[in-house]
Chains A and B, each alone.
Chain A
């Protein structure tokens, strides 16, 4: 039978009510919508976790010396200059950005509106290349003495946003609002009193928010930090800038040979393994839903074959071959699958976006950095639609084969 005639016949009147057909497609729509929504959310959560825990720049790899635990003591090694030089020489490494901490206590003092607050912080120094991609527009991290350029960790801004903006009538804190604001650091002083040695005051200007710097406090240029350290600074970590994110596993293997570790990679693996497990559970759940929908479709189409036996016998008498009737019911199953899958796609995308926004607002992702918790993968989403249609075709096969094997003489005799 010609395809357009097959389609017209499949779309033609059937003895079941249109609502019956819709019910069959609804099950498929529900299953596909659930799969699309849950997988989109899983991907979004994975992305958010990676971004918040590992940073937003995928071609960067943080490196630190492997640490050893001896009872309660943790023995820490340092990245000395020869090691830094070896890191720079690794194939696939474009640049190495050093990070070091000041071992003296530091207190940060700032005002925001009528609010003034202070906090003990860890002052870090870094090479400019570490923070350059995340500087506010028109700002520089190159050496400056008064005020000194400083970058705040993203998590610190989130804490400020959650702790100040939400509980006061001050505007929400966003990265662009912080750029250009000043704060003061008192080096050698803490909330518990002054440390040994003189207390030095350092005026800073915020030039950016970064997820590459240490979480304990602001980061200033490494050379400036050196002036405040009574001893030569020792680098506790470095960030490698890679030619390509794909080279990370190969470089990580070389790092292990050098007695170094990349904690972000381990974390990424743990996140990936966790999300893979979650995905497997979701896939099983979605497949179970789809299986129920397919069984309902099978039952519905079987009923149609029984109800339409006399019509099908007539079609056979008028010249339809068994293959024509097989195709007729497969087309019906495919159309129901397509209707269900496309409806499921639309509902899944809408529901996923809505649920993702809801969870993000509950999680308090922080102003200026909205969490995108629903991130459907186009390929996976198309795969689900195809899976829905394929499942319906499979569910429709047995009823279609039964229709194709009807004996016209027997049916017309009844």
Chain B
């Protein structure tokens, strides 16, 4: 599904250029659960951004499900992000002026799917992530764990094939982090999603099928997780 060859990402920072990623090569099969490990600044988020079509690499090739993300137009990349990728961010990135339900249906505005049917699906997803009772509550009045559940529901509204989660439990307390991790893994299993996530702790690591270790923008190790809870179909 994902094919990465000699992928590099540089960006200017004052007079210098930062090498965020250098010479990454990897393949990820459909339905895999991959966890990216590494210290801060190792390039985990940059790799997720490239996989999600949020930015373009400086060099190399990157293909996801047959789409060349390097040469794709702005419109094609936008469509890719809308239909084929779901994002879960560490700091949620919800629209604070909207309710939970409105946040979940937000991606539908940029696609072609029916808003009416999407609204029903959003309710069902919120129900699924345990937020059915609070769907009309403004997200500003939700706790961190509740917000991340809303963000997970939003990531799934367009039925993506790839779920990218950047430190999804990084801002949550232990109990909430545990339940959100469980939720992500359950959804990954139920829907056969390819899940690529970054993590600092071993909560998610315990469920991963594969672990990629990054350091200073380079892929240092690509190994099968020690105790995978799920095998790719």
Point out residues on A near B: beta carbons under 8 Å: 1-2, 5, 8-9, 12-15, 310-311, 313-324, 407-410, 412-413
Contacts and interface: CB of A to CB of B under 8 A. Distances in A.
A320 B110 contact: yes
Given A317-B87, A319-B82, A321-B75, A310 B109 contact: no
Nearest to B109: A5
Contact of A322 (B52, B74, B81): B74
B95 A311 contact: yes
Contacts of B93: 310, 313-314, 317, 412
Given A318-B154, A319-B78, 13 more contacts: A2-B112, A5-B109, A12-B97, A317-B54, A317-B93, A318-B81, A319-B83, A319-B107, A321-B110, A322-B74, A322-B78, A409-B54, A412-B93
Nearest to B91: A412
Nearest to B11: A410
Contacts of A316: 54, 78, 81
A9 B109 contact: yes
Contacts of A8: 109
**A9, A14, A319 interface centre (most CB from chain B within 10 Å):** A319
Nearest to B81: A319
Contacts of A412: 54, 89, 93
B95 A407 contact: no
Given A318-B82, A413-B45, A407 B55 contact: yes
A313 B98 CA distance: 16
Contacts of A320: 78, 109-110
Task: For the complex of A and B, list the 8 residue pairs with the smallest distance between their C-beta atoms, beginning with the closest.
Answer: A319-B82, A319-B110, A321-B78, A13-B97, A409-B55, A409-B54, A318-B107, A409-B49
B61 to A, nearest CB: 19
A321 B53 CA distance: 12
Interface string B77-104: 1110111000101000101011000000
B75 A323 contact: yes
A371 to B, nearest CB: 54
B64 interface: no
A99 to B, nearest CB: 76
Interface residues of B, number: 28
A319 B97 contact: no
Contacts of A313: 93
A2 B54 CA distance: 22
A317 to B, nearest CB: 6
Contacts of A318: 81-82, 87, 106-107, 110, 154
A322 B110 CA distance: 11
A318 B89 CA distance: 12
Contacts of B221: none
Contact of A317 (B52, B98, B158): B52
B8 to A, nearest CB: 15
Interface string B46-86: 00010010110000000000000000001101110111000
Given A318-B107, A319-B107, A5 B78 contact: no
B47 to A, nearest CB: 11
A160 B30 CA distance: 99
Contacts of A310: 93
A321 B83 CA distance: 13
A327 to B, nearest CB: 11
A282 B29 CA distance: 70
A14 B75 CA distance: 25
Contacts of A12: 97-98
15 contacts: A5-B110, A12-B98, A13-B98, A14-B97, A15-B97, A316-B54, A318-B82, A318-B87, A319-B78, A321-B75, A321-B77, A322-B78, A323-B74, A408-B54, A413-B45
A32 B90 CA distance: 48
A66 B83 CA distance: 84
Contacts of A14: 97
A322 B54 CA distance: 12
B206 interface: no
Contacts of B107: 318-319
**A314, A407, A413 interface centre (most CB from chain B within 10 Å):** A314
Contacts of B228: none
A224 to B, nearest CB: 84
A320 B106 CA distance: 10
Interface string B104-143: 0011011110010000000000000000000000000000
A381 B193 CA distance: 59
**B74, B110, B158 interface centre (most CB from chain A within 10 Å):** B110
Contacts of B106: 314-315, 318
A413 B167 CA distance: 13
B54 A5 contact: no
A324 B95 contact: no
Interface in B165-182: none
Nearest to B80: A319
Nearest to B50: A409
Contacts of A319: 78-79, 81-83, 107, 110-111, 158
Contacts of A407: 55
**A314, A317, A324 interface centre (most CB from chain B within 10 Å):** A317
A332 to B, nearest CB: 15
